[in-house]
Amino acid sequence: MLEKPRVGDPYICGVQFIWCHPHVERLFLEEKAAFVGDRLTDQGREQELEEEIVKMPGLRGPSDYSNEPPRHPALKINSKEPFNAEPPRSALVSSYVTPVDMFYKRNHGPIPTIDDIERFYVSIEGLVDQPKKLYMADIRALPKYHVTATLQCAGNRRTAMSKTRTVKGVGWDVSAIGNGVWGGAKLADVLELVGIHKLSTVSPLGGKHVEFVSVDMCKEESGGPYKASIPLCQATNPEGDVLLAYEMNGEILNRDHGYPLRVIVPGVIGARSVKWLDCINVISEECQGFFMQKDYKMFPPTVDWNNINWSTRRPQMDFPVQCAICSLEDVAVVKGGKITVSGYAVSGGGRGIERVDVSADGGKTWVEASRYQTNGTPYCSDDPSCDKWAWVLFAAEVNAPHNGEIIAKAVDIAGNVQPANVEEIWNLRGILNTSWHRIQLKCSH
Ligand code: MTE
Ligand code: MO
């Protein structure tokens, strides 16, 4: 990082001009300094620089962590730079919609900054007849939708998986998940603007995937921006509810969660919901970025870092059926007798939750938990107003055993069940730990 330039520095003239510009930060200065080089001696050069500044994009990915947003002190920090943090378990069952400040934050680089929201636009490029730039006003002019969707990191519950055998990745307890109400335009409507019709599986120029590119610099992408893609048929399906979201829980999206604009791909692992969207590319093959090709893939337990062949597996998209108890910590010390066990259950791909079972005797007998959605109304799978992309919160009363195990497991509407043990789904990246959630109890009497 450069110091504020002083007389005599090699780039003094060009740089000093940029430095004086109120919208420009030091980081940009550093980039400029590398090629400005010559001294600002004449008005012509000054004019040129001014034009370059006007052409600067509204949104930028900084290369260091000097401009991170404030965060709630109750979050448990799993990695500071990049910032990765989750709320205490209890925060997840306190409300059906997770408050923004209690929502997990999962980043791969520094949080981008906006110089000028008026200058911000998303470009739509690639296999489209007429590439387009969409400014925020253009996106806000499209019909606005609110989608309640649970976002879950593929690494949720990784720490528990790493107890079987070491895995690579940020450690997470059970709270790398949250339920948000996302407000924005449907990607299907946005794609219509560049001539790709609803429910198309191929664009007129042969595109089959839609790639989302951000501006945050990640070391995994060799300093390039974070990116991911989804199939075009999912992007053009209005029922898929893929959003370009500018609101979260009725508020303007904040910087941590993707301000000014992010993608929300409901029912799919969080990694595909690209934050700080900069560019949408219609492409013929799925995105070749690191997080699609060299990460977030599910391998069998026999694969280790010596014999891994990334090309043999597909990028993970839908997440499997999942649940976790959030009213108890592990290990929990409770008074004997009746206790209420509560938590969340969710499945990917829009498959709702059919049932949640809770056992207080290590899995010999089970009781069915009650389930709630939308502000406490009992969940009912044939109710069209139920949120198909969102979790259910569950609760069950059980008799606390002495030094026993409390377990929860969910079944989705397709009849998918969770695996009983983490060992059989162990994988080297530690993703998709959806094993039965087990809590060790110690009774205090
Ligand atoms: N988008 C960008 N640009 N950069 C990122 O690091 N992380 C992804 C996804 N989108 C990421 C991103 C991952 S792995 C997850 S789980 C979600 O964002 C997390 O979203 P949240 O921080 O809003 O909870
Ligand atoms: Mo993630």
pLDDT at 32 over 70: no
Residues 438/165, Cβ–Cβ less than 8 Å: no
Task: Over range 162-173, report the average pLDDT.
Answer: 95
Measured CA to CA, the distance from residue 180 to residue 378 in angstroms comes to: 19
pLDDT, position 403: 84
Q: What is this structure's pTM? A: 0.89
Residue among 86, 102, 153 whose CB has most ligand 1 atoms within 8 A, to mutate: 153
Higher-pLDDT residue of 401, 18: 401
Residue 12 has pLDDT above 60, yes or no: no
pLDDT band per the 50, 70, 90 thresholds, residue 6 = very low
| Nearest by Cα to 229 from 188, 269, 274, 190 | 274
| Whether pLDDT at 420 is above 60 | yes
pLDDT confidence band for 295 (50 / 70 / 90): very high
Q: For residue 299, what pLDDT band results from cuts at 50, 70 and 90?
A: very high
Distance CA 278, CA 251 (A): 21
User: Is the beta carbon of 274 within 6 A of some atom in ligand 1?
Assistant: yes
Measured from the Cα of 106, ligand 1's closest atom is 22
3-state secondary structure the chain: CCCCCCCCCCCHHHHHHHHCCCCCCHHHHHHHHHHHCCCCCCHHHHHHHHHHHHHCCCEECCCCCCCCCCCCCCCEEEECCCCEEECCHHHHCCCCCCCHHHCCEECCCCCCEECCHHHCEEEEEECCCCCEEEEHHHHHHCCCEEEEEEEECCCCCHHHHHCCCCCCCCCCCCCCEEEEEEEEEEHHHHHHCCCCCCCCCCCCCCCCEEEEEEEEECHHHCCCEEEEEEEHHHHCCHHHCCEEEEEECCEECCHHHCCCCEEECCCECHHHCCCCCCEEEEECCCCCCHHHHCCCCCCCCCCCCCCCCHHHCCCCCECCCEEEECCCCCCEEECCEEEEEEEEEECCCCCCEEEEEEECCCCCCCEECEEEECCCEECCCCCCCCCCCCCEEEEEEEEECCCCEEEEEEEECCCCECCCCCHHHCCCCCCCCCCCEEEEEEECC
What is the predicted pLDDT for the residue at 45?
Answer: 54
Q: Is the ipTM of this complex over 0.90?
A: yes
405: its two tokens: 């195990």
Q: What is the pLDDT of residue 443?
A: 78
Residue 50 confidence (pLDDT) above 90: no
Q: Is the CB of 111 under 6 A from ligand 1?
A: no
pLDDT tens for each residue of 182-215: 999 999 999 999 999 999 999 999 999 999 999 9
Does the beta carbon of 270 sit less than 6 angstroms from any atom of ligand 1?
yes
**pLDDT (0 to 100) of residue 376:** 57
Look at ligand 1, atom 14, and give the residue with the nearest C-alpha: 271
Closest ligand (CA of 105):
1
Whole-number Å distance, alpha carbon 108 to ligand 2 midpoint, is: 9
Q: What is the pLDDT of residue 445?
A: 66
Q: Which of 352, 368, 351 is nearest to 409 (CA)?
A: 368
Q: Using CA atoms, how far apart are residues 40 and 241, in angstroms rounded to an integer?
A: 52
- pLDDT, tens digit, for every residue of 79-123? 999 999 999 999 999 999 999 999 999 999 999 998 889 989 999
CA 304 vs. chain centroid, Å, equals 26
In the chain, pLDDT over 70 holds for what percent of residues? 84
Q: What is the mean pLDDT of residues 59-73?
A: 94
On whether the CB atoms of residues 249 and 180 are closer than 8 A, the answer is: yes
Residue 9 has pLDDT above 60, yes or no: no
Ligand whose nearest atom lies closest to the CA of 273: 1
Where residue 333 falls among pLDDT bands split at 50, 70, 90? confident
Question: Who contacts 166 (Cβ-Cβ below 8 Å, separation ≥6)?
Answer: none
For helices 26-36 and 12-19, angle between their N-to-C axes, nearest 10 degrees: 150
- Ligand 1 in contact with 226 (CB < 6 A)? yes
Measured distance CA(353)–CA(322) in Å, rounded = 9
Regarding the beta carbon of 186 and ligand 1, being less than 6 Å apart is answered no
- Candidate from 158-167, 339-348, 375-384 with smallest mean pLDDT: 375-384
**Cβ 153 under 6 angstroms from ligand 1:** yes
Ligand nearest to the CA of 82: 1
257 pocket-lining for ligand 1 (C-beta < 6 Å): yes
Ligand 1 pocket test: pick from 261, 275, 290, 316 the residue with the most ligand atoms within 8 Å of its Cβ.
Answer: 275
Q: Given pLDDT bands bounded at 50, 70 and 90, which one contains residue 381? A: low
Please give the structure tokens belonging to residue 220. 């995994």
Give CA–CA dist 283/230, Å, rounded.
10
Q: Is 214 in the pocket of ligand 1 (CB under 6 A)?
A: yes
Residue 43 has pLDDT above 80, yes or no: no
| Ligand 1 atom, smallest distance to 154 CA | 16
Residue 233's alpha-carbon distances to 139, 274, 287, in angstroms, are 21, 18, 15
Atom of ligand 1 nearest to the CA of 296: 14
Torsion angle (degrees, nearest 10) of CA 50, 52, 55, 61 = -110
Average pLDDT over residues 129-149: 96
Q: Is the per-residue pLDDT at 335 higher than 70? A: yes
* pLDDT, average across residues 394-407: 93
Whole-number percent of the chain with pLDDT over 90: 77
Query: What is the tens place of the pLDDT at every residue in 211-264?
Result: 999 999 999 999 899 999 999 999 999 999 999 999 999 999 999 999 999 999
Q: Does the CB atom of residue 148 touch ligand 1 within 6 A?
A: no
Structure confidence at residue 1 as a pLDDT band (50, 70, 90) = very low
Task: Kindly tell me if the per-residue pLDDT of 437 is higher than 50.
Answer: yes
Q: How sure is the predictor about 24, in pLDDT bands with cuts at 50, 70 and 90?
A: very low
The answer to whether 78 touches 86, Cβ cutoff 8 Å, is yes
Cβ–ligand 1 contact at 108 (below 6 Å)? yes
Task: Label residue 54 by pLDDT band (50, 70, 90).
Answer: low
Judged against a pLDDT cut of 60, whether residue 15 lies above it is answered with no
| Residue 83: per-residue pLDDT | 98
